[in-house]
């Protein structure tokens, strides 16, 4: 609000002081109106330099929590894909074991074993295909490469060092130890049974590891969400305007402004009457 002029009259010391006070009140009122308009207590460094520095740091942490949460979700998706592949490969290993047990029996001829071996070898090829083709975001998750190499790190927090390393996963025939096995004859079938039993144990261990790391990431995600909520609350205390306090301050400054304006009007009236009295 513009401060009225005193019509060219000589301004006294009291009037100068009132002018300064009214200008200060106008600035305070403009400042609180800005804070109430955008609900922010800190709109520039001059409002609270130290508070702004802390609030900016907290804001950085909040954004870090959000991105870390997304990273964890992506990692869990990759692990779930790998677990899905492991479930199918486990089923194929069980089928291969059935075929090997059947081929081990001398009630079958070698020709019949050879027919069983055709399915057995196709299952081995399919295991390799699934292990090599199972990917997340074009990265392998089941053949000891990419995310399954044992070196992949997931950023699970807002700061450097907040990482979790994904476990090595190898579901290929080589990794399971069944590459080159056969059930074309009784002796080979016996050896295949032993190899498949080891492969099933290996798959069980890998699946348990996948489950454990998935659960760990789930706990990490829960903690990130809690940390984000609490940090957001802390940042809000520093940066956001207390609306009740702001309205009270606005009311006070408006009263002071109105009082100041009334004082100026009274000064004008007194001065004008004084001049008229001198002229009479």
Q: What's the Cα-to-Cα distance from 112 to each of 96, 119, 146, rounded to whole Å?
A: 15, 12, 41
* Structural domains of the chain, ranges and CATH numbers in brackets: 65-208 (1.20.1330.10)
- Return d(Cα 93, Cα 70) in angstroms, integer: 35
Q: What is the pLDDT of residues 187-224, one digit of tens each?
A: 999 999 999 999 999 999 999 999 999 999 999 999 99
Q: What's the Cα-to-Cα distance from 264 to each of 18, 115, 274, rounded to whole Å?
A: 8, 110, 15
CB 232, CB 165: distance < 8 Å: no
- Return d(Cα 256, Cα 5) in angstroms, integer: 18
| pLDDT score recorded for residue 261 | 67
| pLDDT score recorded for residue 221 | 95
Residue that has been written with the tokens 């870090």 in this structure: 64
| pLDDT score recorded for residue 8 | 47
| pLDDT score recorded for residue 6 | 46
Q: Which residues, given as ranges, of the chain have pLDDT below 70?
A: 1-47, 239-250, 252-280
Residues 6+ apart with CB under 8 A from 225: 65, 69
φ/ψ of residue 11, rounded to 5: -90, 130
CA 205 to chain centre: 30
Q: What is the pLDDT of residues 121-157, one digit of tens each?
A: 999 999 999 999 999 999 999 999 999 999 999 999 9
């Amino acid at each position: 609000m513009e401060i009225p002029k005193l019509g060219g009259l000589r301004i006294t010391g009291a009037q100068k002081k009132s002018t300064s006070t009214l200008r200060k009140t106008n600035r305070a009122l403009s400042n609180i109106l800005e804070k109430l308009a955008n609900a922010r207590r800190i709109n520039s460094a001059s409002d609270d330099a130290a508070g702004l520095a802390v609030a900016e740091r907290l804001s950085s942490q909040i954004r870090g929590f959000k991105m870390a949460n997304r990273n964890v979700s992506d990692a869990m998706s990759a692990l779930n894909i790998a677990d899905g592949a492991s479930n199918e490969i486990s089923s194929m290993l069980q089928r291969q074991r059935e075929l090997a047990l059947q081929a081990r029996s001398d009630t079958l001829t070698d020709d019949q074993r050879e027919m069983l071996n055709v399915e057995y070898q196709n299952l081995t090829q399919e295991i390799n295909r699934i292990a090599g083709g199972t990917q997340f975001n074009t990265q392998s998750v089941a053949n000891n490469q990419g995310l399954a190499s044992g070196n992949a790190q997931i950023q699970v927090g807002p700061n450097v060092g907040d990482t979790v390393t994904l476990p090595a996963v190898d579901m290929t025939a080589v990794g399971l130890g069944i590459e080159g096995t056969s059930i074309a004859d009784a002796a080979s079938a016996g050896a295949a049974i032993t190899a498949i039993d080891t492969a099933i144990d290996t798959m069980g261990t890998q699946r348990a590891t996948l489950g454990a790391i998935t659960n760990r990431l789930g706990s990490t995600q829960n903690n990130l969400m809690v940390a984000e909520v609490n940090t957001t609350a802390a940042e809000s205390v520093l940066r956001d305007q207390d609306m009740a306090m702001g309205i009270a301050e606005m009311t006070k400054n408006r009263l002071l402004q109105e009082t100041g304006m009334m004082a100026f009007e009274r000064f004008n009236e007194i001065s004008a009457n004084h001049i008229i009295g001198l002229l009479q």
